[in-house]
Amino acid sequence: MTYVSPGKGYERDSRYIATRITADGREGFPVRPGRYRLVVSRACPWASRAVVVRRLLGLEQALPMAVAGPVHDEDSWTFDLDPGGRDPVLGIERLKEAYLAREPGYDRGITVSAIVDVPTGAVVTNDFPQITIDMSLEWAPHHRPGAPELYPAELRPDIDAVNEVVYRDVNNGVYRAGFAGSQETYEEAYERLFARLDWLSDRLARSRYLVGDTITEADVRLFTTLVRFDAVYHGHFKCNRNKLAEMPVLWGYARDLFQTPGFGDTVDFDHIKRHYHLVHSDINPTGIVPAGPEPEPWLAPHDRAGLGGRPFGDGTPPGPLPRAERVPAGHNPLPGAGPP
């Protein structure tokens, strides 16, 4: 598949279906436990945000999840992990079918995460930044007891400010480097990426978390990029000034989050590597998937607790993963992440 335009920089298509699911249903889609299906891929960093937030808040029963396979073609994400290659609830083989049910002739990106209205089989929204905010605010009555506040009112301006620069320079910055079509656009993205990672290192050298003394939405958004850095972005996207493991503060911060229930136990390193190295055939035409890096270093002590902070504030960690949502054995080094 072609992602690089020779001589040009990379521009993400942000024309999302922005309909919101709200507590009052003001846009036609009220919050209703069991009515919707969250479609994700564990390979995708944008979808992985929703997976982490859903788990931290305990929305597993209220908002059931479908997991697409890690490799898609130019047409769509597929449900090849499910028996018969169909999602057992929606009954579809390709996520594109749910997009066309919403908009016949839909011609934009078939992206995850997407929330599908089960009764109609149509996508409600794929506006991934808003999806996780609404999980925190609109779905609050259905949070588990002890769920953390990931988007507290008093910290929202700071969270939003951090999220804006992290998205521009880091979350999307790795793509701007990896899909650059010229030396100039690549180097510009590369410099902005590592300047922002240095800025984040300085900030996190003094604070355990990005905003305040608990985990927030800002930490979730940074984590899903950092956890892919050495496995994909360092080599595949040429973001190779340093590995994450060579940036002590960020490496410790990322390990701290990885070892926090709700973060690392949702990560599938096999899906991550297969997606990037098989789907981006213009960058990796041989289709060879790297064997490394080994995941066990993610379990090494991080020594971040000395900075203070309480991961869940006055709340509690989520409980064990439901068996049906455990990452396959061998795809994650955490005890209990995969089936026994």
Enzyme catalytic residues: 44, 175
- Map residue 7 onto helix, strand or coil: coil
At what angle are helices 45-57 and 217-226 packed, to 10 degrees? 140
Place of tokens 């890096």: 293
CB 223 within 8 A of CB 52: yes
Q: For residue 170, which of 237, 215, 112, 114 has the smallest C-alpha distance?
A: 237
Give start and end residues of each alpha helix (H) in 103-232: 128-137, 156-166, 173-178, 183-204, 217-226
Name the CA radius of gyration of the chain, rounded.
19
* Alpha-carbon gap, residue 93 to 229, rounded angstroms: 31
* Alpha-carbon gap, residue 33 to 186, rounded angstroms: 45
CB neighbours of residue 291 within 10 Å:
7
CB neighbours of residue 218 within 10 Å:
22
Sign of the Cα pseudo-torsion (242, 268, 259, 48, in order)? positive
- Map residue 265 onto helix, strand or coil: helix
